Amino acid sequence: MSEISLEFPDGSKRQFEAGASAKDVAQSIAISLAKKAVAGKLDGKLINLNAPINHDGKIEIVTKDSEDGLAVLRSTVALLAKVSLKEIFSDIRFGEDSGDEEGLYIDTDKDDGQVSADDLEAISTKIQSFVDKKVDLKHESVSKAEALKKLAGTKFEAQLVEDSEDDSFDFYNVDGVDVLNNGVAFENAGDVKFFRLLSVAGAYFEGKSSNDMLQRIYGTAFYKQADLDADLKARQEARERDHRVIGNDLDLFFVDPKAGAGLPYWMPNGATIRRTIERYIIDKEVADDYKHVYTPVLANLDLYKTSGHWAHYRDDMFPPMDMGDGEMLELRPMNCPSHIQIYNHHIRSYRELPLRIAELGMMHRYEKSGALSGLQRVREMTLNDGHTFVTLDQVQDEFKKILTLIMDVYNDFNITDYTFRLSYRDPANTAKYFDDDEMWNRSQSMLKGAMDDLGLDYYEAEGEAAFYGPKLDIQTKTALGNDETMSTIQLDFMLPEQFDLSYIGADGEKHRPVMIHRGIVGTMERFIAYLTEIYKGAFPTWLAPKQVTIIPVSDDKHGDYAESLRKKFAAADVRVDVDHRGEKMNYLIRDAQTHKIPYTLVVGDQEKANNEVSVRKYGEQDSNSMSADAFLSEVLGDIENYSRA
Ligand code: ATP
Ligand code: ZN
């Protein structure tokens, strides 16, 4: 018998007989390790615990308490789900499947309607029966040619094998049923512990929108009940905060792939929130000496050739429109070249600097269809964009001014969980950056100085700057714990060069300005997705699409009084309506709560007689009576102070 040499993660090497498995290797180290082992990893690739190893390589033992260990468990559940689906539906077809640290899924297709959420219980029961019976999962690796033979007539699976660069494919025989499985699975179904099938949703085959829409079944699995419970709780929390779910419940927006994937439609409620934010931010910026402009979403492609976007960012751009007369028009992916046109329209003097140009600029990016998500990642978006043109000397003050504006805005939106990341060029590799040492050194120390002056904590990231200049990113935490860049301030030495920007200095000579790109709240789309999540749809009064609803105890007797209040409040710019549906009062009150309306007013005999209202705030059980005028000033105070109801 020949020998093979296996290297362990700590660098040590040992000889084994050719054909030894990961299990043999684990056993040779410690019985306790062998007990926890669920698979091996050979040269970075997961392998079955009992698969023979026939060549030298790097070996790792995959145990239950690792991410790979979870992946093996989840792949096993995906495998059992496929077998179960085959037994339940004779016409089932499979697309991709996966089990990893996120969870598991199986893509399916049927002739006779798709698998639905109602089927999940039957599928789970079937999976559990394999687990209870401790069915063997007989593994076999076959060549591409053999795999294609086994999968003849399967449409999607055969295509996947065809498109794959691998030459070895894993099949498992379970209870006499042969299935292809993408991951590595256990040897026996009895090792599966706690699993749950969660939901179904459409997914394009291989993630391409030109392909068939399949039905994806989602699920998850754990080794411990407590871990499964915690995960289900986190998923429930995520669902309660999911801006797509809330956006639908509160009728804020929708995206219909038939009308255009990633192209959102803002319903009146969502549009009201957006309009309120847009007016707010424009007013803030105008007060901060920004000049607001409007520039076209389309421009000659040459503009993006000059800016460098066409060379470096083309994959994210919509293809140019050939107008047939030699003109090529491009949907802009960024607004910077547009604002440069505004700057360059006049000869600029040093007296005009800093010159601040801002716009709610609509832009288009061709995001991959698989990455699109509600308003969070779209293909048409409107950025709260601004570009300041300054002399190098003015960088520090301008940076402070922008930062102060950002924090002021965060305060108004009650955004408290954020951190600063200051990005410099890599001192060990200055060659890959814009070539002007003085610009870099001075501007980097000005940014740092500004942060210190303002007494802010920040993280310094060497080598994270853009190649055209240093930047500050402000990272927020979403309610689900993900980091997201909300605001950014970026210095740019390069675009002024590309577009030959200049100003006339006090010396009467031409000089080159520095450009600062800055976004305060980012795109309206992503910002509103974020707010929806942090507020759980309960928008503070100033943003709420409907701020007050008035419910007459009897529409016949108190409807007129309610109407008179509505007119009075509406005249003071409060978004208010009267619920004339005449349904049971408790139902109407509950409905107002479901729609997260900050104030629900109930008016009956007593209120009408005394010119009062009975007020119930969102999320509270009690109501209290006050005069209509006192209530109006309370609401107006809330709106003015951006506060919650
Ligand atoms: P990402 O890395 O998320 O694609 P980016 O770094 O390309 O973003 P920038 O070019 O800095 O983003 O864009 C400015 C702003 O636009 C950021 O606030 C970002 O959150 C937002 N944004 C970028 N792409 C999208 C999108 N597809 N949908 C919605 N907002 C977006
Ligand atoms: Zn810009």
* pLDDT value, residue 477: 81
Which residues on neighbouring strands pair with residue 266, listed in sequence order? 253
User: pLDDT tens across 575-613, in order?
Assistant: 999 999 989 999 999 999 999 999 999 999 999 999 999
In 454-602, which ranges are continuous DSSP H helix?
Answer: 495-498, 524-535, 555-571, 585-594
User: pLDDT tens across 106-127, in order?
Assistant: 999 999 889 999 999 999 999 9
Ligand 1 pocket residue status of 244, Cβ below 6 Å: no
Which residues on neighbouring strands pair with residue 57, listed in sequence order? 6
Residue in 372, 526, 532, 533 to alter for ligand 1 test, most ligand atoms within 8 A of Cβ = 526
* Tokens coding 179: 């299935």
Q: If you average pLDDT over residues 475-495, what whole number do you get? A: 86
15 C-alpha to center of ligand 1: Å?
A: 52
- Mean of the per-residue pLDDT values of the chain: 93
* pLDDT value, residue 417: 87
82 C-alpha to center of ligand 1: Å?
A: 38
336 C-alpha to center of ligand 2: Å?
A: 4
Report which residue type is found at 643: S
Phi/psi of residue 161, nearest 5 degrees: -65, -45
Whether the predicted pLDDT of 209 surpasses 80: no
* Ligand number nearest to the C-alpha of 519: 1
* pLDDT value, residue 645: 59
* pLDDT value, residue 80: 97
Q: If you average pLDDT over residues 336-353, what whole number do you get? A: 97
Q: Are 412 and 287 in contact (CB under 8 A)?
A: no
Q: If you average pLDDT over residues 468-491, what whole number do you get? A: 87
Q: Higher-confidence residue: 362 or 480? A: 362
Q: Express the helix, strand and coil content of the chain in percent, nearest 5 each.
A: 40, 30, 30
Nearest CA to ligand 1 atom 24: 377
* Ligand number nearest to the C-alpha of 335: 2
User: pLDDT tens across 452-474, in order?
Assistant: 999 999 999 999 888 889 999 99
User: pLDDT tens across 38-54, in order?
Assistant: 999 999 999 999 889 99
Pick from 151-155, 241-245, 349-353, 465-469 the range whose average pLDDT is largest: 349-353
Confidence band for 1, pLDDT divided at 50, 70 and 90: low
Ligand 1 pocket residue status of 365, Cβ below 6 Å: yes
Q: Are 385 and 335 in contact (CB under 8 A)?
A: yes
414 C-alpha to center of ligand 2: Å?
A: 26
Q: Strands across the sheet with 459-462, in order?
A: 291-292, 355-364, 380-390, 514-523, 483-492, 471-477, 418-424, 459-462
Nearest CA to ligand 1 atom 5: 485
321 C-alpha to center of ligand 1: Å?
A: 23
577 C-alpha to center of ligand 2: Å?
A: 41
Ligand 1 pocket residue status of 529, Cβ below 6 Å: no
Ligand 1 pocket residue status of 187, Cβ below 6 Å: no
**In whole angstroms, how far apart are CA 639 and each of 276, 543, 545, 636?**
11, 8, 12, 5
* Ligand number nearest to the C-alpha of 496: 2
| Position in ligand 1 atom list of the atom nearest CA 484 | 20
Ligand 1 pocket residue status of 146, Cβ below 6 Å: no
| Position in ligand 1 atom list of the atom nearest CA 372 | 27
| Position in ligand 1 atom list of the atom nearest CA 525 | 29
Ligand 1 pocket residue status of 522, Cβ below 6 Å: yes
**How far is residue 75's CA from residue 100's CA, in Å, rounded to a whole number?**
7
* pLDDT value, residue 514: 95
**How far is residue 467's CA from residue 218's CA, in Å, rounded to a whole number?**
41
Ligand 1 pocket residue status of 520, Cβ below 6 Å: no
**How far is residue 89's CA from residue 97's CA, in Å, rounded to a whole number?**
17
Ligand 1 pocket residue status of 523, Cβ below 6 Å: yes
Report which residue type is found at 496: P
Whether the predicted pLDDT of 237 surpasses 90: no
Q: If you average pLDDT over residues 285-306, what whole number do you get? A: 97
Ligand 1 pocket residue status of 540, Cβ below 6 Å: no
* Type and span of the H or E element at 198: strand 194-204
